């Protein structure tokens, strides 16, 4: 067998750095739903002509959204709220976040640059504690999925 046969969120190393602070995102009450990286645009589009011919167009866009989910009682909310409060005081501070997300066991590595908070997370106060989602838009996401051969941690 070439690499590890198991996956664990415990191997994920994630951090944010931007005006107003930098800290880990992969500790402190991450919810089961974890961290999602989603590209914004399709990488290609296709059109077909009346005669059946077609054409593909390759797009340069590398933008996307990163969503980090924490349990309602996570201390990360205070850190993220402070960063949000600082960065939303001036356009000079927004759009400068960098989020790095890696799984060194598998070799995954995502570098997300030029990011800004989307909005404050919805804050639901209910019978059971909930999950709060912090979303960021990024102009550039450089993805690299690993093949599991970097199993030395």
Question: 13-60, pLDDT tens digit by residue?
Answer: 999 999 999 999 999 899 999 999 999 999 999 999 999 999 999 999
Residue 129 has pLDDT above 90, yes or no: no
The pLDDT, as a whole number, for residue 3 is 58
**C-alpha neighbours within 13 Å on the C-beta side of residue 136:** 31
Looking at the chain, the whole-number percentage of residues with pLDDT higher than 70 is 95
Residue 98 has pLDDT above 70, yes or no: yes
The pLDDT, as a whole number, for residue 5 is 72
Q: Which two tokens stand for residue 68?
A: 């980090």
Residue 153 has pLDDT above 60, yes or no: no
Helices (H) and strands (E) in the chain, counts: 1, 9
Residue-range domain boundaries for the chain: 11-41+57-144
CA angle 40, 138, 150 (to 5 degrees): 90
32-66: b or e for each residue (b if 16 or more CB lie within 10 Å)? eeebebeeeeeeeeeeeeeeeeeeeeeeeebebbb
The pLDDT, as a whole number, for residue 28 is 85
Using 50, 70 and 90 to split pLDDT, how confident is the model at 148? confident
Candidates 1, 33, 2, 8; CA nearest to 108 is 8
Using 50, 70 and 90 to split pLDDT, how confident is the model at 152? low
Q: What is the pTM of this model?
A: 0.90
- The CATH architecture assigned to 11-41+57-144 reads Roll (2.30)
Residue 145 has pLDDT above 80, yes or no: yes
């Amino acid at each position: 067998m070439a690499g590890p046969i198991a996956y664990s969120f415990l191997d994920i190393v994630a951090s944010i750095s931007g005006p107003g602070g930098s800290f880990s995102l992969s500790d402190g009450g991450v919810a089961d739903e974890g961290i999602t990286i989603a590209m914004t645009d399709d990488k290609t589009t296709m059109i077909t002509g009346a005669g059946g011919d077609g054409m593909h167009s390759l797009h340069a866009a590398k933008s996307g959204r990163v969503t980090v989910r924490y349990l309602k009682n996570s201390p990360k909310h205070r850190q993220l709220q402070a960063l949000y409060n600082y960065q939303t005081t001036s356009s000079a501070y927004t759009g400068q976040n960098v989020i790095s997300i890696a799984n060194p066991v598998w070799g995954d590595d995502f570098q997300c640059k030029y990011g800004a908070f989307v909005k404050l997370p919805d804050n639901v106060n209910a019978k059971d504690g909930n999950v709060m989602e912090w979303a960021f838009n990024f102009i550039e996401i450089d993805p690299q999925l690993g093949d599991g051969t970097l199993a030395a941690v």
